[in-house]
C-alpha cells in the first residue's frame, strides 16, 4: 500500500526526508507546505552543501515543484488547518517546521484532512507518544496512535545504545554528552538568541548548550525515566555528530564483552539501525550513513561497573532515514 505523504516545513529535515524517500515505491509525496517561494525551494533541494547535488531533475513552477517529471503542489499557508489535505488524500503529514510540536497544534493537520502526523522533533506536550526504531517501535498501534514523535536525531542515536546496555547489564544511571554539529537554531555571527551561548557565532566557537535527548530516552525505555541526563556541545561542523555515554551498570563488564555485544546486535537484531565500527574514523566519515548510530568500538572504556561508550551519527541523514522507515509503519 502506497502511503501519501505531505511535508510541512521544507527545511533541512523536510528536504532530507524527501531525498531519503522519494524513490521508495511505498511512499508518494503529494504536497509541500513552506513559506519560502518555489524557486528557492527548488534550488535548496537541488544543491546541498553537505549532501551534495540532488540526483533527480528539479524544476520550479509558480505553485509546484516538478521532480523527475512528477509535479508536487507547494503551498505557503501559515495555519495548517487551512491546508487542503483532504483534497489531496494525505495519509501522513511530516511535521518538520519546528513550530507545531504539541498535540493541539498537530491536530490542525488532522482537522485539515490528514490521517496521521509524524513529528520530526521531540514533542512539547506529554500527550504525544514518542517512538524510536530499534527500541519501542513495536509499541506503536496504528488504530490508537495518530500523532506521534520520532524524537530527535540524538535520541535516535542514544536510545538503541542504552537499550542494549540495559537489556544485558542493567543501567543504574548515566550521563550523555553529544558533540553536535551546529544547526539553523544557532547564529552565524554574534546575534541575539534566548540561549546566550547559541547567540555566539556557530562557525568559530565550541558552544555548550542544553539537550533533552538523554531524558527523552525515558520516554521510550520507561524503566530508565529520571535516571539519565545530558548536555550538548555544538562544534563548527555542518553535519556529523557523536554521543559519549557514561553509565553505571548493575553488573560488571569488560571492554571485550561490550564490544562483542554491539558487534552481535549490529549484525542481527539491530541490523540497519546500529553499525559496528572498529576503525579510527572521524566525523566526515559518517556523512551519508543511514544508521541511527555507528558504535565506535575503539572508544569503549570500562572500570568495573562504570562504562563509557561512544557512537557516531549523521544527525540529518540517519535521522531522516528513520523518519521514512516509520512512515511505512504508520498505516
The residues annotated as belonging to the active site are: 153
Beta-carbon neighbour count of residue 173 at 10 Å? Answer: 13
- Given a contact cutoff of 8 angstroms between Cβ atoms, the answer to whether 174 and 246 are in contact is yes
**DSSP state letter for 271:** T
**DSSP state letter for 204:** S
CA distance 183 to 121: 13
Q: List alpha helices for the chain, DSSP H.
A: 12-21, 38-46, 103-111, 153-168, 213-220, 255-267, 317-327
Q: Give me the numbers of helices (H) and strands (E) for the chain, helices first please.
A: 7, 16
Q: Are strands 293-296 and 274-277 parallel, antiparallel or unpaired?
A: parallel
Cell of residue 96, nine digits: 518538520
Which of 110, 302, 16, 34 minimizes the C-alpha distance to 128? 110
Half-sphere exposure of 108 (CA within 13 A, CB side): 18
Q: In angstroms, how far is the first alpha carbon of the chain from the final one? A: 9
CA distance 205 to 310: 23
| CA dist list (Å): 180 to 120, 228, 294, 312 | 17, 18, 14, 10
CA 242 to mean position of chain CA atoms: 14
CA 29 to mean position of chain CA atoms: 19
Amino acid at each position: 500500500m502506497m502511503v501519501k505523504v505531505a511535508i510541512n516545513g521544507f527545511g533541512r529535515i523536510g528536504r532530507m526526508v524527501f531525498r531519503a524517500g522519494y524513490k521508495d515505491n511505498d511512499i508518494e509525496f503529494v504536497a509541500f507546505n513552506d513559506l519560502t517561494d518555489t524557486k528557492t525551494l527548488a534550488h535548496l533541494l537541488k544543491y546541498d552543501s553537505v549532501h551534495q547535488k540532488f540526483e533527480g531533475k528539479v524544476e520550479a513552477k509558480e505553485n509546484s515543484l516538478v521532480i523527475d517529471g512528477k509535479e508536487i503542489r507547494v503551498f505557503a499557508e501559515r495555519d495548517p488547518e487551512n491546508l487542503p489535505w483532504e483534497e489531496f488524500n494525505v495519509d501522513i503529514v511530516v511535521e518538520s517546521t519546528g513550530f507545531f510540536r504539541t498535540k493541539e497544534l498537530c491536530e490542525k493537520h488532522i482537522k485539515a484532512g490528514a490521517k496521521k502526523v509524524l513529528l520530526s522533533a521531540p514533542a512539547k506536550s506529554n500527550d504525544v507518544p514518542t517512538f524510536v526504531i530499534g527500541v519501542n517501535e513495536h509499541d506503536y498501534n496504528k488504530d490508537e496512535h495518530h500523532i506521534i514523535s520520532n524524537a530527535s536525531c540524538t535520541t535516535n542515536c542514544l536510545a538503541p545504545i542504552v537499550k542494549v546496555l540495559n537489556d544485558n547489564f542493567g543501567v543504574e544511571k548515566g550521563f550523555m554528552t553529544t558533540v553536535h554539529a551546529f544547526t539553523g537554531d544557532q547564529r552565524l555571527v554574534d546575534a541575539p538568541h534566548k540561549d546566550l551561548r547559541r547567540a555566539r557565532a556557530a562557525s568559530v566557537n565550541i558552544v555548550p548548550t542544553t539537550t533533552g535527548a538523554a531524558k527523552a530516552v525515558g520516554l521510550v525505555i520507561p524503566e530508565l525515566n529520571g535516571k539519565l541526563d545530558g548536555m550538548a556541545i555544538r562544534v563548527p561542523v555542518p553535519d556529523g555528530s557523536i554521543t559519549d555515554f557514561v553509565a553505571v551498570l548493575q553488573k560488571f563488564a569488560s571492554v571485550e564483552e561490550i564490544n562483542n555485544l554491539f558487534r552481535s546486535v549490529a549484525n542481527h537484531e539491530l541490523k540497519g539501525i546500529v553499525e559496528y565500527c572498529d576503525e579510527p574514523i572521524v566525523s566526515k566519515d559518517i556523512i551519508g550513513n543511514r544508521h541511527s548510530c555507528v558504535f565506535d568500538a575503539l572508544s569503549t572504556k570500562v572500570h568495573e561497573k562504570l562504562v563509557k561508550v561512544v557512537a557516531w551519527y549523521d544527525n540529518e541523514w540517519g535521522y531522516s532515514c528513520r523518519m521514512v522507515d516509520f512512515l511505512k509503519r504508520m498505516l
